[in-house]
Amino acid sequence: MTTAAVVVRDDDPRRPGLERDGLVVVSTSWGAHHVDHGPAHLDALIARADADVAELGPADADDLLALDAATCADFPTGPATSHEPLTPVTARAALTPPSRTFGARVDGRLVAVTVVDVDGTHAETAFTTTDRGYRGRGLGAAVKALAVRTLRAEGVGTLRTGGAGENAASLAVNRAVGYVVDETWLTYGRGA
């Protein structure tokens, strides 16, 4: 009998056996691909943000570390989704190719970022976060839209992202930017 958490896709044929063994779904996560609706859609999301939205560079490392530290506890954590707190080394790496980081500043303060890992014509979002006091203002959508617009213009054809099922705001942001869920993952465990 399985005792550790087991992560499977929602279409995995092992699901009935896991459930017969008494395991239950304790969390879900999803993966999505971007559908290109053209730059005008993305430009509109960027323009709606009442912030300065731009690609970040190595000079922004301290601001990125501060935002990550302020929001790190907000990330859902489980076997299929997690976020490791940034360190000075990993923050610099996020701001240096092949990673790309896009941020939103309000009154000079970095309040939202998305970090994307790029490999040739493929890109995968590493994480996106917005300061608690600035959520619900379209800043997450704006930084993701700028990332997609920039990378598409540079020839990146495949853009992927994902997240925890419990984070409805993240899913809504990604859908607004043009991401379409194409896989769902279920984490089975003993339950509460």
- pTM (predicted TM-score): 0.92
Q: Which domains does the chain have, with CATH numbers?
A: 30-182 (3.40.630.30)
pLDDT of residue 4: 80
Tens of each residue's pLDDT in the chain, 192 residues: 446 889 999 999 999 999 999 999 999 999 999 999 999 999 999 999 999 999 999 999 999 999 999 999 998 877 777 889 999 999 999 999 999 999 999 999 999 999 999 999 999 999 999 999 999 999 999 999 999 999 999 999 999 999 998 999 999 999 999 999 999 999 999 866
- Cα 72 from Cα 173, distance rounded (Å): 19
Helix axes 39-48, 168-177, angle to 10 degrees: 130
| Residue-by-residue DSSP string for the chain | ---S-EEEETT-TTHHHHHHTT-EEEEEEEEEEE----HHHHHHHHHHSSSEEEE--GGGHHHHHHHHHHHGGGS--SSS---PPP-HHHHHHHTSTTEEEEEEEETTEEEEEEEEEEETTEEEEEEEEE-GGGTTSSHHHHHHHHHHHHHHHTT--EEEEEEETT-HHHHHHHHHHTEEEEEEEEEEE---
